Amino acid sequence: MSLTERIGLAALRLVDPETAHGLALRALRSGLAPLPGPVTSPRLATSLAGLDLPNPVGLAAGFDKNAEAVGPLMRAGFGFVEVGAATPRPQPGNPRPRLFRLAQDHAAINRFGFNNDGMQAIAARLARRPAGIPVGLNLGANKDSPNRAADFAEVLRQCGLHVDFATVNVSSPNTERLRDLQGADALAALLDGVMEARAAMEAPVPVFLKIAPDLDAAEEAEIARTAMAAGVDAIVATNTTLARDGLQSPARNEAGGLSGAPLFERSTRILARLRQLTDGALPLIGVGGIGSAEDAYAKIKAGATAVQLYTAMTYKGLSLAARIARRLDALLVRDGHANVAEAVGTGTEDWL
C-alpha cells in the first residue's frame, strides 16, 4: 500500500463510515485512487460460467450500489465487478446510522436495507460503462413490494442488456422477511421468474444465486438442489451473517449483517459443503472475510472458482485487490498449478 493510500485511509477513519464510503467513491470518480488496470497472468486467467476473467478476485456487491464508479473500479485490479443491489423503484433504505466499523475485529455491520437509486437510473449508468472486465448486477426487491419475487425478474429485464451477469440476492438480512425467499418452494418460483426473464433477453447472461451463511445443513442441501434444478450458473457463498460470535468491538451488538474477518471460517465451510453437495458441477464464488491472498487461496481450494471482497478494503485500501491477485499468482507458482482451475477444490475435505 502506498503512503498516499495510507494517509487517505487514515483520513477516512476520522468521519462516520457511510460518509467515508461516499468520499471513497468520489475519490474513485475523481481519479485519486490507485488504478493499475486488471492484474492478470496465464495462471490467474479464469473462466466463470462462460465469463473470461483476467483474475478470480472480484468486487462484491454493496461497494458501488448505484453504479456510480464502474469505470474506475474496472481498472482497480479486479477480475470482475458486481454493483447494486438494484430494486425496481428507488428506496432510501433504513435510517442512519446504518454502517458500523468493528476495527478490533476487522469487520463491519450494516443494515442499509437495499438503499439505491432504482433500476432505471442504474441501468442508464451501466449503459455508459466502458468495455473491459465483466460487470454484474445484484438484483434486489423493494421493501414494500406486493410481489418481491417478481421484482428480481423486473430488474433483470430492465438492466440485463447492460451487464455480463446478474446475482439474485435473497440473502440480505436487512430487508424484513427477505430471507424467507430462500425456502425451496419460494426460491424455485422466484428463480423460474428470473430464468424466464433471462430467456427473453436478446443475449442471455449468467444468473448467480447469493445465499446466507446462517443456514443449517438441510437448508444448504435444499438450496443446492433448487439452484441446480433451476439452471442457476453459480452460487455465491455467502452474504453477511446475523451471528456475533467472539466479537470484541464496541459496536458488536448493532443490528444488521456482519461482514469481514469473523465471517471467514463460517462462509468457507459452507462453500466446501456446497462443493460437496453439487459434486463440483456448479461454479461457486467465495465471499466472506477475505483479507489476503492466503484467504482467497483457501476459498479456492475449498471449492471456489472465483472470490469477492469488500469489507477488508475498509482497513487495507482499494489496492488490496491487485495485491491479492499478484500474491495469488505467486501461490499458484509455489504449488505447481498451471492455472486457478487446477487448485479449485483441492482442499475441500479440510473444511468438512
CB 162 within 8 A of CB 119: no
Determine whether 128 is exposed, middle or buried from the number of CB atoms within 10 Å of its CB (0-12, 13-18, 19+): exposed
Is 172 noted as a catalytic residue in this protein?
yes
SS3 at position 91: strand
Active-site option among 172, 259, 267, 319: 172
- Tell me the DSSP string of 175-243: STTGGGGGSHHHHHHHHHHHHHHHHTSSS---EEEEE-S---HHHHHHHHHHHHHHT-SEEEE---BS-
**Beta strands 99-102 and 107-110: pairing type?**
antiparallel
CB 110 within 8 A of CB 58: no
DSSP alpha helices (H): ranges in the chain?
A: 3-12, 17-29, 70-74, 119-127, 148-159, 184-199, 217-230, 264-277, 293-302, 312-316, 320-334, 340-343
Question: Which cell is 149 given?
Answer: 419475487
Q: Measured between alpha carbons, how far is 332 from 43 in angstroms, rounded to an integer?
A: 7
Q: What angle do CA 301, 277, 80 make, to 5 degrees?
A: 50
**Catalytic residue positions?**
172
